[in-house]
């Protein structure tokens, strides 16, 4: 702090000679501080004009233990308020109530709001949408809530969480609001939306991004079909279906689907009709090369993110409020995205093919 005052005044302590400032040192003020090593007193240097604003320990700050950062870090990793209390007590002998932990973590709420409304890129080649369900307490009742997650792939090939919003159970009306929010935050175009089979999803997307292609997740489609298949036939059925979604083109895929229908159609009619009825939304990826297919034909990318969310929220069977859930998911997102340093494999090839296919829709924003 003495060095900070040197920099503010422009001369060192005890320096003799002509001084280029009318401000001078003016003794010290005692200040009591709390740290993880206990309480102690320091002498804060003062200046005559009262202009000195120390950065190391700002005015009015009396706690330099870093406990708040530790609480937020532990909370972000899914520790319950009770576990955080016990951990801090074991390490530092500090008693923090569950209410105090909640108040400390509430300090990040302005960051959450700022993050949720931040400007986005004008174009995303791929956007994945999904939701996770949680229990939230409201007015003495336990209600089901959906956390709507939107994840994009940037034109540079990096993953980015575009938004997380907690709302009522999954509905196309709510997704429409989410899509309008993306548009209002600067997203002008999306090439591909990769989604599950929520009724009305397609109409909601087309209302906001009419040029976008919609790809139903093949993995979700398979799971829906597997519901109708006996366990003893499941392995063979899944093996036969690989020929459908691994086909080199749509004509071959339809032919393979016909073969599967001949083999299994009588025994499991609903498992096959599920694909026939939704073929238009499932078959988009057949017109593209393997590198693009691998990105768009499954929502594994967002399911991997959802697994990380479940990992940190598993200690809480019920959240006290929507805000509490949003806070937890935001902190978890910050930890997850720190690890997203790699671009998609062969991204340069993917981008070149997308530019050839979609031209100005991509290049005008690059």
Rg (alpha carbons) of the chain, rounded to whole number? 28
Q: Does residue 210 have a pLDDT over 90? A: yes
CA end-to-end span of the chain: 47
- The residue that leads in pLDDT, 169 or 301, is 301
Q: Does residue 115 have a pLDDT over 90? A: yes
Dmax over CA atoms of the chain, in Å, equals 102
CB-facing half-sphere around the CA of 272: CA atoms within 13 A: 17
Q: Does residue 23 have a pLDDT over 80? A: yes
- Residue 34 near residue 57, CB atoms below 8 Å: no
Q: Does residue 202 have a pLDDT over 60? A: yes
Q: What is the pLDDT of residue 116?
A: 92
- Helices 81-92, 98-105: crossing angle, 10 deg rounding: 100
DSSP codes of every residue in 123-176: EEEEEEEEEEEEEEEETTEEEEEEEEEEEEE-TTS-EEEEEEEEESS--HHHHH
Rounded distance, CA 189 to CA 192, Å?
9
Query: Residue 198: CB partners within 8 Å, gap ≥ 6?
Result: 170, 171, 172, 175
Full-model pTM: 0.75
Q: Does residue 36 have a pLDDT over 70? A: no
pLDDT tens-digit readout, 99-110: 777 788 888 889
Confidence of residue 68 (pLDDT cuts 50, 70, 90): confident
Q: What is the pLDDT of residue 65?
A: 64
Q: What is the pLDDT of residue 16?
A: 54
Q: Does residue 176 have a pLDDT over 80? A: yes
Mean of the pLDDT values across residues 227-236? Answer: 88
Q: Does residue 117 have a pLDDT over 70? A: yes
Percent of the chain topping pLDDT 70: 95
CB-facing half-sphere around the CA of 46: CA atoms within 13 A: 10
- The residue that leads in pLDDT, 66 or 123, is 123
Q: Alpha carbon 362 to chain centroid distance?
A: 24
Rounded distance, CA 345 to CA 80, Å?
37
Nearest residue to 195 (alpha-carbon basis) of 149, 226, 162, 155: 149
The lowest-confidence range among 79-88, 119-128, 134-143, 335-344 is: 79-88
Q: What is the pLDDT of residue 125?
A: 94
Rounded distance, CA 363 to CA 155, Å?
10
Confidence of residue 19 (pLDDT cuts 50, 70, 90): low
Q: What is the pLDDT of residue 179?
A: 93
Q: Does residue 17 have a pLDDT over 60? A: no
The structural domains of the chain, with segments of one domain joined by +, span 2-47, 67-113, 114-363
Q: What is the mean pLDDT of the chain?
A: 85
The lowest-confidence range among 15-19, 228-232, 271-275 is: 15-19
- The residue that leads in pLDDT, 35 or 337, is 337
Mean of the pLDDT values across residues 94-102? Answer: 75
- The residue that leads in pLDDT, 31 or 297, is 31
Per-position b or e across 210-227, b if 16+ CB within 10 A of its CB: eebbbbbbbebbbebbbe
The lowest-confidence range among 5-9, 118-122, 165-169, 272-276 is: 165-169
Out of 163-167, 183-187, 274-278, give the one with best mean pLDDT: 183-187
Facing residues of 147 across strands? 132, 166
- The residue that leads in pLDDT, 366 or 58, is 58
Mean of the pLDDT values across residues 327-353? Answer: 89
- Residue 13 near residue 24, CB atoms below 8 Å: no
The torsion angles phi and psi of 359, rounded to 5 degrees, stand at: 45, -120
Q: What is the pLDDT of residue 170?
A: 62
Q: What is the pLDDT of residue 252?
A: 92
Query: Residue 236: CB partners within 8 Å, gap ≥ 6?
Result: none
- Residue 144 near residue 366, CB atoms below 8 Å: no
């Amino acid at each position: 702090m003495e060095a900070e005052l040197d920099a503010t005044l422009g001369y060192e302590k005890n320096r003799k000679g002509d001084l280029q400032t009318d401000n001078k040192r003016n003794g010290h003020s005692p200040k009591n501080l709390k740290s993880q090593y206990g309480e102690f007193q320091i002498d804060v240097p003062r200046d005559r004009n009262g202009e000195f604003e120390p950065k190391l320990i700002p005015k009015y700050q009396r706690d330099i233990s870093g406990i708040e950062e530790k609480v937020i870090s532990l909370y972000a990793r899914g520790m319950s308020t009770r576990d955080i209390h016990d951990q801090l007590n074991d390490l530092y002998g500090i008693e923090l109530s569950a209410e105090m932990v909640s108040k400390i973590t509430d300090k990040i709420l302005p960051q959450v709001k700022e993050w949720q409304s931040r400007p986005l890129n004008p174009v995303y080649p791929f956007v994945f949408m999904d939701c996770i369900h949680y229990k939230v307490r409201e007015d003495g009742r336990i209600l089901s809530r959906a956390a709507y997650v939107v994840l994009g792939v940037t034109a540079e090939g990096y993953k980015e969480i575009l938004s997380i919003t907690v709302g009522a159970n999954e509905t196309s009306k709510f997704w429409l609001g989410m899509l309008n929010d993306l548009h209002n935050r600067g997203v002008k175009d999306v090439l591909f939306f990769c989604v599950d089979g929520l009724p009305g999803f397609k109409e909601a997307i087309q209302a906001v991004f009419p040029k976008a292609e919609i790809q139903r997740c093949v993995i979700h489609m398979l799971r829906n079909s597997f519901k109708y298949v006996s366990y003893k036939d499941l392995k063979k059925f899944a093996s036969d279906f690989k020929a459908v979604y691994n086909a080199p083109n749509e004509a071959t895929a339809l032919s393979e689907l016909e073969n599967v229908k001949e083999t299994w159609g009588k025994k499991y009619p609903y498992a096959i009709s599920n694909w026939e009825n939704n073929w238009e939304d499932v078959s988009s990826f057949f017109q593209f090369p393997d590198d693009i297919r691998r990105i768009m034909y499954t929502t594994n990318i967002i399911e991997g993110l959802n697994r990380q969310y479940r990992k940190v929220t598993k200690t809480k069977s019920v959240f006290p409020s929507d805000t509490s859930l949003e806070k937890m998911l935001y902190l978890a997102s910050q930890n997850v995205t720190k690890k997203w340093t790699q671009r998609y494999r062969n991204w340069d090839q993917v981008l070149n093919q997308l530019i050839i296919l979609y031209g100005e829709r991509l290049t005008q924003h690059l």
